[in-house]
Structure 1
Amino acid sequence: MRREVFENNYDAIYKYIRYLTNDPELTHDLLQETFYRFYHKNYTEHERTYLLKIARNLVYDHYRRKKIVGFFQLKSDPIATEALPDEVIERNAEIEKLYCALQQIKWSYREVVILRYIEEYSVKETSMILNCSEVKVKNNTARGLKALRVMLGGEKDV
């Protein structure tokens, strides 16, 4: 049972923590602690939701302890693709711009955008993970996307 939960959720939880921390060593430490806490609570339903809540709380706690307000720029991982080198370079540059812009928006917007568009969770799942209303998720998503568009030059701030 534990091995199955680990194998089914490892990648998603790792990516989520990595997007928020941009530190591979810290990511592994927090990932390990996430599964440790999960196994000691013996959750049986909505495993990924609980794992993401635990991971989120651990990241919050880490940054509160360190009193770090901003996050470091996430360096894009190599893209495993059969694309031409020019296409890979262009894609990496776009990803880098997105990560830079993500770090400049409010934490609450960043978190929702990551869960909704990078991790591809529904509004309902996102609201469960963040322990907030679906309306707040929708509002923060819209505001976060607008802030990203402004930073990426897609629309003027009014």
Structure 2
Amino acid sequence: MRREIFEAHYDAVYKYIRYLTNDTDLTHDLLQETFYRFYQKNYTEHERTYLLKIARNLVYDHYRRKKIIGFFQLKSEPVAAGELPEAVIERNAENEKLYAALQQIKWNYREVIVLRYIEEYSVKETAMILACSEVKVKNNTARGLKALRELLGGEDDV
């Protein structure tokens, strides 16, 4: 059973921690601790949600101890067959600009935007992971997107 849970959720938890830390070694350490804590509690449902909640708390605790909250990794997107190099360069420049702006907004806004738009979780799933209400998720999403638009000069593609 434990192996099935690990195999089913490893990629999602790894990716989530990696986005937040941008450190491979730290990601592996926190990933191991996440599954260890998960297995201690014997959750029987919503496994992925609880794993991400544990991972989030571990990352947050790590950075709170170090008093570092500015971190993010660029999400690399695969190059489509036949895509022109200029298009790839332009898309990568836009992504860099977006992620640089993400580093400048409040932690709680950044966290919601990562979960909602990068990890593509629903409002309900995001609320469960962050242990807050759906209203708070919606409000933080709206405020985070507004902050990003202001940082990016009012662009509508956020």
TM-score with structure 1 length normalisation?
0.89
Amino acid at match of 1:111: E
Percent of aligned positions with the same letter in both sequences?
80
Sort the Cα spacing of 1:87 and 1:6 in 2 relative to 1 into closer, same or farther, 3 A.
farther
Inter-partner Cα distance in structure 2 for 1:8 and 1:80: 27
Deviation digits for residues 81-102 of structure 1 (CA, Å, limit 9, x no counterpart) = 4333222222222221111111
CA contact (8 A) 1:79 1:88 kept: no
Shift of 1:110: 0.4
Aligned match of 2:108: 108
Amino acid at match of 2:66: K
Inter-partner Cα distance in structure 2 for 1:81 and 1:12: 23
Amino acid at match of 2:70: F
Inter-partner Cα distance in structure 1 for 2:41 and 2:135: 29
Sort the Cα spacing of 1:75 and 1:141 in 2 relative to 1 into closer, same or farther, 3 A.
closer
Inter-partner Cα distance in structure 2 for 1:75 and 1:117: 14
TM-score with structure 2 length normalisation?
0.89
Inter-partner Cα distance in structure 2 for 1:90 and 1:7: 36
Inter-partner Cα distance in structure 2 for 1:125 and 1:73: 21
Aligned match of 1:129: 129
Deviation digits for residues 120-149 of structure 1 (CA, Å, limit 9, x no counterpart) = 111111111111111111100000011111
Correspondence list, 1:119-158, <5 A: 119-154=119-154
Length, aligned pairs only: 154
Inter-partner Cα distance in structure 2 for 1:36 and 1:78: 31
| Unaligned segments of structure 2, at least 5 residues | none
Aligned match of 1:8: 8
